[in-house]
Amino acid sequence: MDALLKESNGSLTDNEVTAIIARAKTLNIFRKLDSQRSARIIGFLHEAKQLPVSETRRALDLSTAKLNAIDFLSVKFSNTSMFRTDFREAITNKADFASVDLSDSTFISADIQGASFIGSNLNNVDFSEANLYKVDLTNAKITEKQLQSAISIHEALLPNGTLAHDSNFLNNGQTDCNMSFGDNWVLHKGNITVKTSHIDPNSCYFFLRSYNIGAIISRRVHLTKWDSKSWPHSQIILSANMSIGVSIHLKGTNSINDINIHPRLNSTGTNISFALKNDIRGLEIFIEFSALSGQNSVPSYWCGDIKLFIIYGKYLKFLR
């Protein structure tokens, strides 16, 4: 390939015949090499300025390339033709696919977090179980069905300009005023009531009633969606709104006993996180309301808007 570059004065696409030969050689190389060596070829083409388009040069056509399980970061494919390309299980974090024709390509189980698909043609692209965390889909052609097939679209910028959010693992995290308290949470001590929040009238929060002894409630969550083999470097993120005197801590559980992971969130923070270990099968969330004995006036201790998400990752170096 380097010899062909020299013969063509540093461009594989200025001459139509050279472009055809370069495309055939490149696709053939991808078919023969493993994912690590294929990544080096992508890196070479990127450094040689054969992938990103410029005012004077068109990009090398990589349509139908076999790039499954390839691992590369921040490569620019913008304005490249890549229809029917196989990115199955690839790691393409922060790659630039802006204005790329990716129609009929597959990203099954790929880790694409932070990638740009601005203005891309994603017609019939298979994103099944792919990680689309924080991808930019501005003006991209993609359907709701494609988005829902991904394992995560959390904080992705959608074509309509809104931010996507994954389903809350605590689907009743901020509670439902019409449901019985015991439907989801276990009361270990004290007394709690559920009522409309004074901050957001559309939300229901937990409020402390047993001021003299405080209260503790908990809830178990099964991580059925997370696969430690496919996503070994993932993180749990928990956020909530609460008053002073309230704290939340998480405890990991496996099939045998509790795992010693106890990050704690209170009113001074916005969220807590920790890395998921291979043996974690579930979580237990504890909310603790402090006692108020001896107080002349009784403040309102409350907690709500509890959200639990997973940030999926295949390799530690890509986890942010």
Q: Which residues contact 268 (CB under 8 A, 6 or more apart)?
A: none
Task: Tell me which of 166, 198, 213 is where a domain ends.
Answer: 166
pLDDT tens per residue, range 234-280: 999 999 999 999 999 988 888 776 666 668 899 988 899 888 887 78
Question: Order of strands across the sheet with 235-242?
Answer: 192-196, 204-208, 302-311, 235-242, 271-275
pLDDT tens per residue, range 54-113: 555 566 666 667 677 677 766 777 777 788 888 888 888 888 899 889 999 999 999 999
Question: Quick one: pLDDT at residue 141?
Answer: 92
Question: Quick one: pLDDT at residue 190?
Answer: 94
Domain that holds residue 36: 1-166
CA 209, 214, 220, 225 torsion-angle sign = positive
pTM of the entire predicted model: 0.77
Q: What is d(CA 86, CA 65) in angstroms, rounded to the nearest whole number?
A: 6
User: Is residue 203 domain-shared with residue 263, that is, in the same domain?
Assistant: yes
Task: Tell me which of 105, 139, 166 is where a domain ends.
Answer: 166
Question: Quick one: pLDDT at residue 279?
Answer: 77
User: Is residue 133 domain-shared with residue 229, that is, in the same domain?
Assistant: no
User: Is residue 128 domain-shared with residue 205, that is, in the same domain?
Assistant: no
